[in-house]
Structure formats: C-alpha cells, structure tokens
A and B are shown apart, each in its own frame.
Chain A
Amino acid sequence: MTAPTTPPRTTTPGALALADDALILAQRLGEWAGHAPVLEEDVALANIALDLLGQARVLYSLLGDEDELAYLREERAFRNTQLVEQPNGDFAHTIARQLYFSTYQHLLHTQLATAELPEATTPAGTTALEIQALATKAAKETAYHREHAELWTLRLGDGTTESHDRMQRAVDTLWRHTGELFQDLEGIQLDLPTLESDWHSSISQILHRATLTVPDGPRSGAWTAGAGRQGIHTEPFGRMLAEMQHLHRSHPGASW
C-alpha cells in the first residue's frame, strides 16, 4: 500500500468538499448523455449523475444557496478532488474514475451513516446530523454506483485484449489522483486510515479479478501541488466551469 506523499496543508469544509465532488462528477457524467456505447449505459450514467446531483444539492443547502455555490464561485474556490474533474476520456477511463470514486464514496457514506454523533445541541451538531441523514440515503445509492463500476471493470478488464489494455491504461492514468481522497475534511468525523485501507483492498481485489495489475505509482505528489481539496485544480477544470456557469452568469440575478 502506498501512503499519500503530500500531506494536506489545511483542512477543507467537509460538506463543501463532498458537495463539490458530487456536483463536478455529475457534470462530467452529464456529458455522456446520448454518447454511451449502449442505451442501457445512457440510462445508467444519467441515473448515477442524478443521484450525485441530488447529493450535491442537499449538501449545498446546508451551506447556503445551491446556485450561488455552484455557479458563482471560481475555480480556486472549488474543493472537489482532482479525480472527479478528470475528463471522461473513453468508456474505460470513465469507468476507472467511477470505480475509484464510487468505492471511496460508498465506504465514506457507510462510515458516516453508522457513526455515533454528538447531540444536536450546537449548529455543528445539527449539521453533522443532517450530513448523517444524507449519508444514509447516499450509502444506498453509492452501493449501486460501486456495483455498476465493478461490473464494468470486470467486463472490460476480463473482456477482449483491446478492452483489457484500455482498462489498464485508465486505472494507471487516474491512480495519481486517488491519494487526495483521504485528506481530512473539516467538520466530518472519519476514520481515514480504515477508509483508505478498505478502499485499497477493495480496489486491489476487483482489479485482480478483472485480470488487471494494481498500479504501483504514487497516489499523490508534487504534481498535485496541494490538490483539489485546497482549490488547486487541473487545467481542464476551468473550461468545464466556464461551460457550466456561462448561462447563469450571463443573467445576473435572474431566476430560472
């Protein structure tokens, strides 16, 4: 197991980080609509995107106005991981991103859903309870997302030579963005070492079953320069936000 080589610099407001992860991945999956390899996948990817968008909206509503948060922040204010903002690439690339992220998200929400929480006597306590309510619902949704990604990882990894090679390339390419999933999130109590080791053993298992090699490169490093949780993103992200926010920003104050 490879530990992240770059420790987090500051903690990030947890609800915002989780909301941004969900929104940005939903946005990426939304780009697939009408382009999927089979109709069933048009349905499945849209369905996952909708679940994620729903999670993002609940979390944003704990923090303020959902549209202000989604449409009026610039790149440096977003706290999503770099993993979720990665371009879709081919179907294998999208599936590898889903596998890494859904496994993380499912383990995370399962932890949050079953955690013992302090009484809701403080605003922080109230937020924790609301996040737990969301996590209980999200744990069910992400179990499905995880299964979907695992099944496709098996099909592609253990399918044809071409699909095997594409899937291996995808898991290798995205590996460097997986370390940042396990950074501290302010206001969210998580057992990060357990989360990380469960994630690693689950991913290793599924990749082995899919006849794929577990990547051995570092899972974060100098190239991430602090990573998405600190508002440091990759180049494609700015263009993605420009597309997402353009219309909203063109009509200040309008309602839709």
Chain B
Amino acid sequence: MATATVDHAGAFDTAVAADERIEPRDWMPDAYRATLVRQIAQHAHSEIIGMQPEANWITRAPSLRRKAILMAKVQDEAGHGLYLYSAAETLGTSRDDLLDKLHTGRQKYSSIFNYPTLTWADVGAIGWLVDGAAITNQVPLCRCSYGPYARAMVRICKEESFHQRQGYESLLALSRGTPAQHDMAQDAVNRWWWPSLMMFGPPDDESAHSAQSMAWKIKRHSNDDLRQRFVDIAVPQAESLGLTLPDPDLVWNESRGHYDFGPIDWTEFQQVLKGNGPCNDQRITQRRTAHDEGAWVREAAAAHAAKHRSSTTPGEETA
C-alpha cells in the first residue's frame, strides 16, 4: 500500500513536471484535490453570484441592443457556472453539496460581487474592469494542470473576452456621450477600480495557498504579478476611453517598465471577505431565496421523472 502510494505520487509529480494534464481517474494527492475543489467551486459560485449585480440592470437597460447584450451575458454566466460545477464534480463532489456550502457561507465567491451596481455605467465598468481582471487571472488557468478545469477555462475565456470588449464599448459610448453620461461613466470607474485590483487576492507575502498552487501548476503566476499585468493593460485603455483612474500615485516607472500604483486598502478587502461588504447579505439572501423558493419545482421534476421511469420501463430499476 505504502509502496503503491509512493509510485502514484511519483507518477503524479512527473506528469505535473512534464506539463501533462491530470485527469479525473488519475491518482492525485488529497490536498491537490481539495485545493482544486475549493478553487473551482469558488470560481463557479462567483459566476452565479456575479449574475446578480448585472441582472439588476436587465429590466432597465437603456436601449434594446444593450438589453440583448446584457441578457446574453448573464445567460453566459449561468452557463459558466454550469461548466465549472461539472468540472468540480469530476473531483468527486456534487453540485448540490457545493451550492449548500455557498448558501451556508462555508465556501466563498469573488469579493467583487459584494459591491452594488448603482447606475447603468456600472454594467460597462464591470465588463471592462471586472471581466478584464477575471481574464487576466483566468487565461493562465487554460494551462492549469487539471484537465477538466483547463478545458472549461478555454471556453469561458473566449466568452469573457467578448464580454469585456462589449463593456469597454459601452463605457466608450457613455464617455463620448452627453456630459451626464460621461460623468456617469467616470463615477462608475471611480467606484470599481480598487475593488477590481483586489480581485487578484492578497499580496504575495500574505497569500496562503499560492506557493503550493504554483508548485502544482494550478496557478502559473503570483497575485502581484497578475495585478501588475492588469494595471499595465488598463491604464492605456482608460486613456483611450477618455476616463481617469482614481489613483494619484499611478505613474509610469521607466526603470521597472511598469506602472507604479498606490496602496490597496486591504482592511476593506478583509472586511468584504468577512461578510461586511455593501451587498454580502443581499447576494447570499437572494441566492438562498431562489434556491428555497425553487425547492418545490425541483421536487416536482424529481417526482415526475420517478413516475415516468416506473410507468414506462417497469424493469429498469432491477436492470
């Protein structure tokens, strides 16, 4: 038994070192499995909770074209949630169990979705900044060592970059629109910039899971590296949008070849993670309410399926 475990571990390490994909039936360390379940579940939950701030504007979208784009985006998010729950299920957990953990606060979702969408421009700012940050985080996951997760990310990243371009384009229309629209866009960027930077997680020296995740090739870059990459991309985009970023310390650093930026308010980040952000209660309550109020529908579907099975194919249960 012990010898076999050592062999398995050796094969696993070799496969990871050779950039091969680990598949559901392959042996993997328990901690690798647990880390992946945690990360994929959190990612799935973020897609599902992330529907709320945007869905908040579906009924109020200011043109039919924008309404259609937003509906399609929220639909894609539900679809991404489904892919990701499926990927997590290949690790031996179930969607029901994961949803239960979300509803009871035992698993988290991205802190960004605890901020409110107060104006229409927030929808554009989420597309540009929040999806932009998500893509920066997620593109390296397309090469993650766990096959089902990596493949889900390939599909998701394609759709996310489409959403991000649409968000940028929506903000551009506002920025170039009437003075009131321009102000609306600037205000949204002011409110979403810092929370977007927090999406990359705590600084490298305080990130509990980073080192192990990088060794397992679940993660490919550190939080701070990805955050820097995002800032470097976002600054020129803000300039071409004709909008400013709310950071007086933001300046090009010739010697580093990167933008320097001001300090992040990690106290706020910790508060939001602890459940004390502006919308934590609201988001989880809506999720739980949808689930609880839908219980009779799921029970009906199960009862119907059971009846239908036994009435049409009586021998099936013994087969």
Contacts and interface: CB of A to CB of B under 8 A. Distances in A.
Interface string A80-106: 000000000011000000000000000
A160 B299 contact: yes
Contacts of A116: none
Nearest to A91: B297
A78 B294 CA distance: 33
B64 A159 contact: no
Given A27-B59, A91-B297, A34 B74 contact: yes
B63 interface: yes
A121 interface: no
User: Chain A contact residues: over half helix, strand or loop, or mixed?
Assistant: helix
Interface stretch (A42-50, A107-115, A134-142, A186-194): A42-50
Contact of B71 (A49, A91, A162, A253): A49
Interface string A46-83: 11011001101100100000110011000000000000
A50 B174 CA distance: 24
B79 interface: yes
Contacts of A91: 294, 297
A42 B303 contact: no
B133 to A, nearest CB: 21
B304 A39 contact: no
Which interface residue of A40, A53, A60 has the most chain B CB atoms within 10 A? A53
Contacts, number: 144
Contacts of A46: 71-72, 74-75, 78
Interface in B30-85: 48, 51-52, 55, 58-68, 71-72, 74-75, 78-79, 81-82, 85
Contacts of A34: 51-52, 55, 74, 286, 290
A243 B67 CA distance: 13
Nearest to A49: B71
B51 A40 contact: no
A244 B60 contact: yes
B229 to A, nearest CB: 31
A39 B83 CA distance: 11
Interface in B286-311: 286, 289-291, 293-301, 303-305, 307
Interface stretch (B9-17, B175-183, B211-219, B232-240): B175-183
B39 to A, nearest CB: 19
Interface residues of B, number: 49
Interface string A150-179: 000011101110110010000000000000
Given A30-B67, A254-B177, A42 B293 contact: no
B294 A37 contact: yes
B163 to A, nearest CB: 14
B154 interface: no
Contact of B300 (A33, A35, A163): A163
A252 B214 CA distance: 53
Interface string A205-234: 000000000000000000000000000000
Nearest to B297: A37
B173 interface: yes
Contacts of A251: 62, 178, 180-181
B120 interface: yes
A50 B74 CA distance: 11
A16 B256 CA distance: 61
Interface of B: 48, 51-52, 55, 58-68, 71-72, 74-75, 78-79, 81-82, 85, 120, 170, 173-174, 177-178, 180-181, 286, 289-291, 293-301, 303-305, 307
Given A30-B59, A38-B294, A40-B82, 7 more contacts: A37-B290, A54-B68, A67-B64, A91-B297, A160-B299, A162-B300, A248-B62
17 contacts: A23-B64, A31-B59, A33-B74, A34-B286, A38-B294, A38-B298, A42-B74, A50-B71, A53-B71, A60-B64, A155-B304, A156-B297, A159-B299, A159-B304, A243-B59, A254-B180, A254-B181
Q: Closest 3 CB pairs between A and B? A: A37-B294, A159-B300, A163-B300
